[in-house]
Structure 1
């Protein structure tokens, strides 16, 4: 003879089938899990692109500093060249004046050559030798002085040209970096749009799951009412509990953290949280705008700790910490050690503060929403 328990179970299954909640709930759960995986992948993609764009921004800042330095050197060379050219002009004018004077004096000389007259007017042989030596030295000195100044001017011009060529290379490199950064920004915007689309699908899917769970609860109540009419209260309660246990969605595991102890950057949490609302800026490291590593390095500086300017470099510092044993002040990373593409500062309670992506602002986030790959403690 078929038991009341069996009849009730069959009746409940029939109700679920009629409502269409059994298979759909499983499918919805599977779909949500798939979407969550896609969302995680999209978030990683956005973070990687942002890290690359930030690295380009830092490189552009360095290039601009180098261009400024090259420009200053060129200006310095211009001043020196102007002075050297003025000296060349002055010495050339002096030599021309001397030549004109000699030509004028030659017309009044006995021999027609002032140098020759100068030597002939010597008092004795020693005086002749002395005057000849003096004339030669004067000519040699004038010529050498002019050549020295001209050589110096040419050397300066060569150095200036080298500086101009170097500046041209720096400007071309800056243009390439900016072009690369623009391309990365475009990709980041596209990836962010995909991320938002996936998040919407997840939200819609979760709403559908919630509705189905409500249908299940209603089916439970109807099954319980039917069972109560066919068996004793004790049997009915036992049957209902069995059905509820079979249909109740599995609880989501929660990550717990131990409070009390703190990481070395715990004192920087207040500074980081004070930046909430500051816009995301590629390569930014000031309250005018931050990228992910710019925020952590800025916060760390407030407690006297100097951090490198990229997430990849920061991920090599300190020692590894299990994600199940985090302390406020630990650094969270996405990617691998030495190749991380996103960084955040853990603030406790399963949350962290970070600069997410272009178009967003510094904010706090739950690890359940976007879980890091690993953590480091300084």
Structure 2
């Protein structure tokens, strides 16, 4: 069996018979700007803000590193604040780190789960800080009925992580317009980049149904990619770690714009929630899970588990055809100080299991069986809830669900 890490494209999604559908926030916002990848939008946002050399931005010490590279390229001074093992910010540290030169608070919503937005909004309001939401991993998620990304002055989303599109990110301005962004004209991406990534997404869908033949075709596709590299044919990449200032003006492809108008977003959200519930119910009490309850409005990107030897378990599960994701093994080198113990724990032990909208019940069952054969719950990796969880949320997180075929 083969389960892709990310959502896949199918030929039916290119059918013009599909009706246009309502799009969710922020795709319906007038003040939005599309980019090839989210780090491009982050760079241009901070260029547009024009922070003074003495000013700084508070950034979580649990991050990918792409966003901090983009900020530094834009001239931002970063001060890292701690994220605890339950993915919540350390408010005592935030209070201590926030000084008269602090201009903005950068908040990352992790894997679809919101940060405590009411408290963070009040924190920023009381200190006159800009609030910037990183929703790269949390498209379609809500907090108390409001979309993530609608609380702060600005928000950025990485669309291709949640949707089967070859590239695409969006930056939204919720309050006021920045002239630099108004004047910015993005460039069309190279056609070879769009076609190459689109073929990968289609191939992943084929491989999930026909693993052996799909693996052969994937090998051919990889060989073609190596040939293009040998011929020095440049492609713009997605999903990699790094920041390329030469590609920072690249926008989202026209193919992605077309696809965004045709997805059934409610179905995507519901399927991801159902898949999360199903797999969590099977794994609970057998492996260590992060203390994440599936409150109303959350659209999970993965099901994160905690493992002792992340590299070995990931390699073993991939050999069994399961597209696990090792998110954020490393980050900004300056974020590894004394207050980063919990962030380093997360980097070392959190392994993400696929529960996206293309994963079937049979595939979830296969994931559960393979994971429980290789991973055991241990006291050392136990991360308790920071606060009591509402009874209805506890119930929704552990009840089994029946998935539609």
Q: TM-score, normalised by structure 1?
A: 0.22
Structure showing the higher helix proportion among its residues:
1
Q: TM-score, normalised by structure 2?
A: 0.21
Larger radius of gyration: 1
